Structure 1
Amino acid sequence: MAAQLSEIEVKGVKIPLIYEKSTLMPAVNLQIVFTHAGSITDEIPGLASLSARIFNEGTKTLGSVEFAKELENRAISLSVGSGNETLVFDMSALKSEYLEGLRLTRELLRQPNFTKEALSKVKTDIKASLLRKESDFDYVAQVELHRRLFEGTPLEYPSMGNRESIEKITLKEVEEFWKKRGVLRRAIVLVGGDVELEEVKKDLLSLLSVLPLGEEGELVRYEAKGDLEVKSVIKNTQQAYIYFGSPFSVKNLREDSYKAKVAAFVLGSSGFGSRMMEEIRVKRGLAYSAYWRISLSKSVNYSLGYLQTKLENEQQAIGVVRELIEEFLQKGITEKELEGAKQFLLGSEPLRNETLSQRLSSAFSAYYRGLPLDFAKEELHKIEALTLEEINAYIKEHQELLQLSFSVVTAPKE
């Protein structure tokens, strides 16, 4: 049974419900997704991420340890996470513990552990993690690249924030974050497993009734910048960590996404079969790996790539990346490359929808972006019918990819 779109009305608000029945296992998965509630809405960098972590500290009544015991004793998984655009409550339980899972989820929504003790613990954990990341030069280079691509927007900061911003966040700001974003008008529900749709709707009425109506919110779109420069961060390193990115224009997601997927596959996202790996590693021995992809979302579209190389090869590697992208935009791809991309994508995409969780996530992604729930299948048909002339015309339209920004973590020059 494929995922289907339904809805449930709570306090006069019609909440989208994506549901799929599956009896392969006697289990149920529930996800409550709050839109316009991720790091892209942060008034203070790291606020959404920190707030999600506090939810993982249990309820105000039970606290972290006792709440965790309640889950463990019933083999219930309940976690909260944040992305760029969303805040997600994810609960999985055996069918026999499904109602207990709903009860605990309801309690977490109703009275999260918003206490000074929980805030202090989470702050300490995040700051420790950020301190460790300061010596992760891949992370440092990527953060610097995003700062340049999205300067002046919430996206210029890592989703975790930084140690200074985390220190500033107060309990009141966490409470205000949840009050504004954890509302019915921003909720989308995903349910799958061994449970009937009408039963789900009845159960959700009780679960979601603890939430206020709130406001829908408006998702702001951001454009990546291209400054055509190489900027370096000097560290005590034996390798050069090179991250690069550029703007990417999307006119129509339904008509563009499958072409972008094929183009990215050929140039840099197919591992050893990609042009970047072939030219940078195999032919020139400049790096162990090289990668390039196109990121498409409701809030922002851009390209991102990376590689590591010896310090003495830094400038040559940067030059090769530029040459490859210039040639790609001028000449497009070959018939052989197109057929190789088709074979892989048509063969591997179905494997990404084998599990119930994967199918629900795929259906949600499509719905959230304004596409049909079965868009993944539609996309495969379009890839199969794609001609060389169509893909090369599409590639040549995207000259903005030449507006490359490079961020490099490297050693002091002798």
Structure 2
Amino acid sequence: MKILAIDDQRIVLLYLKKCLVQLGYEVETTTNGHQGVSMLTSFKPDLVIVDINIPSVSGLLIIKYIRENYSVNVPILVLSGTNDEKVKQEAFNFGADGFLQKPVSLREISVRIKQLLKNPTCIKSHKTLPQEQYIQPNVVGIVIPCYNEEERLKLETFREFLHKNLGYHLCFVNDGSSDGTLDLLNSFKKEFEHSVIVLDQKTNVGKAEAVRLGALSLLENTDIEYIGFLDADLSTDFKDLKKLQDELKRSNNLICSGSRIERMGAQISRKGSRAIISRIVNRLIRLTVKMPFQDTQCGAKIMKRDVVNVAFKQPFYTKWLFDVEIFKRLSKEYGHKYVVKLISEVPLDKWTHMEGSKLSFRDSLSILGQIASIHLKYDVLPLGYITKNKSSIKSESVGERAANDLVEQIQ
């Protein structure tokens, strides 16, 4: 039996097709609504799966077209991330036979398809599919900077997450590691060729630059809607990452940042000396840089792709305070008062200090000078990295970056 799937997210179609072919269906897919309509007569599907939010033409119009011009009998299953009840009602009014809201498991999709096709005996049971594999409502890219993480990299946790959550892209940036980190990452990439990227920096460039390069690499994938970053040791876990993502989706925020605020019910484990230094640093940042947040340095943040170019276009001045620089760049681009309202701190439920942190006590002391540097570069000097041009900006080449660095030194 034939199934036509129309969705603007290629990663969703990839997993959906793999699942349905495994069960015995013949499947064609497209990310273009107009092309999907033209495929109706050439492919002649027995069932159509369609998303609502398709840029070229609304999924609702595709449903209407099928009912008015192609067939009143072919089953139509809507697969969408929207929770708008009016949209759901309209889909059924136009002629949809079923509506599944993402996140939704592949098993549930397969069961619903079989019901709509009157349980064809030629199709395998959904029980042959892996358990708990969910297609997500948004495609999310996550940068994980790695420097000598061979002993701390929790690949089994990453593996379990990717198996269960279809629609995430992980970009591991090997930051000039001298141990076996790169070999581990390359081996892991072979397991997840469609959802794992490995960027190899031959020399150590620091966390700030590693995150920046990873974010720009993910930005090249037009499917990705949100881009964030996590520490390789997963001191912030994926459950809290999803909490940040959910907040970003239901709000007007540009960025959602994890906050390690100690409160009842939360499991926040921080070493005494590091906790004291962190409080001092955050206090100085609030006073000097006018960044009114409780925890600027938490290594878990997620943002809408629209602001990634502004945040990461140029190399950062500082090694450890690039989070603060992101705030200053957005402030210069959109206005301080506007950005303060659209960057949200989300309290984490769990954060665990992991031994082997790359931030030494000496580095912690140098942060004081970096705060002063940020204030000087962004608030005092008339010239800076940030452009006033609101148009789309392409990431610069290595040669352009070197030239800009040279100009900066001359200035």
Please tell me the TM-score bracket, short chain as reference: under 0.3
* TM-score where L is the length of structure 2: 0.26
Higher RCO (CA-CA < 8 Å; seq separation 6+): 1
Q: Normalized per residue, which structure has more helix?
A: 1
Q: Given the two structures, how large is their TM-score scaled by the length of structure 1?
A: 0.25
